[in-house]
């Protein structure tokens, strides 16, 4: 087993560090307080090729394999403080772009996928509803066939990017009696009559990427905007969740690395009882635990990358990675706050936001409980 990076991969990493340092904004703490989304950073990331990174070159993407994509996202998470914006990009990449790549028609790819990759339009993935979260396939949104159209009715909530999105991938059932086999994906454009988008839903963290709800009332969608055949939505959703679980937390790993460096320098500089606080084993043990979490989480993440790049199933490993990295990020963010004392609790010091952001990771793309259910199901229980 070879754990070393190639020189191309190391160059890419350095390039991403330079890009984040020189091109992206550095006013995150201010924007975090007001919940301000940076459209210009989103566009710069798209122009740099991040949104299209794992997409095929013939569509204008980067053609990167999953390991390179993870390395880039991990590096971005290390170098760029706006983890909410990275989360918003991930939500689009894995849960809208990926299903569109595998199930979309040529026209859908040209009209929606390629402009998304170029950062010209923003997309949202709409599965959750007020009455269906973990039990996603119990959704109530309906799509009734009417000539060459479908009429959509229902409500979607907790939707990342919704208030800024130009296009929505909406999951609805064409026949509630068919359960998960009735679930179907539809591409709904902003401005379609009958589509209402809520104002921003305030949340605990990830404040610089807006979340919202949408309501569909007799919303007429042309048949050509159905994504894949009728009833393919559950398979599409499972596929994109596996991608999302595999990749969405790579940037959190980078953020944990940055957090560790901050904590080490603080533990060396801050003196109490006439000595650096790092001399106290209670503090240094926390730092050791943070390092152990990073190294073990990284192994898990790269194993998923390896499995997926060789075409093997990674259902269980993706669930383990999602569960483990998200829980580690919360623990390490709390450790970073403890190490920094009151400074860790003060917004302008730039430590506490990670704790608020990290909690979202325990819930989105399936809660930690649901990941445990997937793991035990794969173990035959």
Q: Does 158 bind ligand FAD (CB under 6 A)?
A: yes
CB 352 to ligand FAD: min, Å:
17
Pick out residues in 180-209 that bind ligand FAD (CB under 6 A). Answer: 206
When binding is defined by CB under 6 A, the residue of 228, 360, 371, 374 that contacts ligand FAD is: 360
Q: Are strands 195-197 and 226-227 parallel, antiparallel or unpaired?
A: unpaired
In angstroms, rounded to a whole number, what is the distance separating the alpha carbons of residues 179 and 11? 48
DSSP assignment of 87-118 equals: HHHHHHIIIIIHHHHHH--HHHIIIIIHHHHT
Q: Which residues contact 355 (CB under 8 A, 6 or more apart)?
A: 205, 330, 333, 334, 336, 337
CB nearer ligand FAD, residue 133 or residue 276? 133
CB 355 to ligand FAD: min, Å:
14
Q: Does 373 bind ligand FAD (CB under 6 A)?
A: yes
Q: Are strands 211-222 and 271-272 parallel, antiparallel or unpaired?
A: unpaired
Q: Does 127 bind ligand FAD (CB under 6 A)?
A: yes
In angstroms, rounded to a whole number, what is the distance separating the alpha carbons of residues 83 and 77? 6
Give me the catalytic one of 68, 244, 257, 352.
244
Q: Does 125 bind ligand FAD (CB under 6 A)?
A: yes
CB nearer ligand FAD, residue 328 or residue 374? 374
By three-state DSSP, how is residue 214 classified? strand
Pick out residues in 219-248 that bind ligand FAD (CB under 6 A). Answer: none
Max distance between CA atoms of the chain, in angstroms, equals 79
Handedness of CA 215, 221, 224, 229 (dihedral sign): positive
When binding is defined by CB under 6 A, the residue of 51, 91, 98, 169 that contacts ligand FAD is: 91
**Which range, of 223-231, 233-241, 306-314, 356-364, touches ligand FAD by CB under 6 A?**
356-364
Question: Does 269 participate in catalysis according to the annotation?
Answer: no
In angstroms, rounded to a whole number, what is the distance separating the alpha carbons of residues 193 and 201? 22
Instruction: Please list the active-site residues.
Output: 244
Binding site for ligand FAD (CB under 6 A): 91, 125-128, 133-134, 158-160, 206, 360, 363-364, 366-367, 369-370, 373
């Amino acid at each position: 087993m070879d754990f070393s990076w190639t020189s191309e991969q190391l160059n890419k990493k350095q390039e991403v560090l330079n890009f984040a340092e020189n091109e992206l904004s550095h006013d995150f703490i201010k924007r975090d307080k007001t919940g301000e989304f940076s459209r210009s950073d989103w566009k710069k990331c798209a122009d740099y090729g991040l949104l299209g990174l794992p997409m095929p070159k013939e569509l204008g993407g980067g053609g990167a394999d999953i390991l390179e994509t993870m390395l880039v996202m991990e590096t971005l998470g290390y170098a760029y403080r706006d983890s909410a914006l990275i989360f918003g990009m991930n939500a689009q990449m894995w849960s809208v772009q990926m299903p569109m790549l595998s199930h979309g028609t040529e026209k859908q790819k040209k009209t929606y996928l390629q402009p998304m990759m170029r950062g010209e339009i923003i997309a949202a993935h709409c599965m959750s509803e007020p009455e269906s979260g973990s039990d996603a396939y119990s959704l109530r949104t309906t799509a009734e066939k009417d000539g060459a159209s479908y009429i959509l009715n229902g409500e979607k909530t907790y939707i990342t990017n919704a208030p800024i999105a130009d296009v929505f991938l909406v999951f609805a059932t064409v026949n509630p009696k068919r359960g998960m086999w009735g679930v179907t994906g539809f591409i709904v454009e902003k401005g379609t009559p009958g589509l209402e988008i809520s104002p921003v839903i305030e949340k605990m963290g990830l404040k610089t990427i807006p979340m919202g709800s949408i309501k569909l009332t007799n919303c007429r969608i042309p048949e050509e905007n159905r994504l894949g055949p009728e009833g393919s939505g559950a398979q599409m959703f499972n596929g994109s969740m596996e991608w999302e679980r595999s990749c969405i937390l790579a940037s959190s790993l980078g953020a944990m690395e940055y957090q560790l460096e901050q904590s080490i320098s603080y533990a060396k500089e801050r003196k109490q009882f006439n000595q650096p606080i790092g001399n106290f084993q209670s503090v240094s043990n926390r730092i050791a635990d943070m390092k152990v979490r990073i190294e073990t989480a990284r192994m898990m993440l790269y194993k998923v990358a390896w499995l997926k790049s060789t075409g093997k199933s990674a259902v269980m490993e993706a669930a383990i990675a999602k569960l483990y990295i998200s829980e580690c990020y919360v623990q390490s963010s709390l450790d970073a706050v403890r190490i920094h004392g009151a400074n860790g609790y003060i917004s302008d010091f730039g430590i506490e936001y990670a704790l608020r952001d990290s909690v979202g990771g325990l819930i989105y793309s399936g809660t930690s409980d649901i990941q445990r259910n997937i793991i035990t199901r794969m173990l035959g229980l």
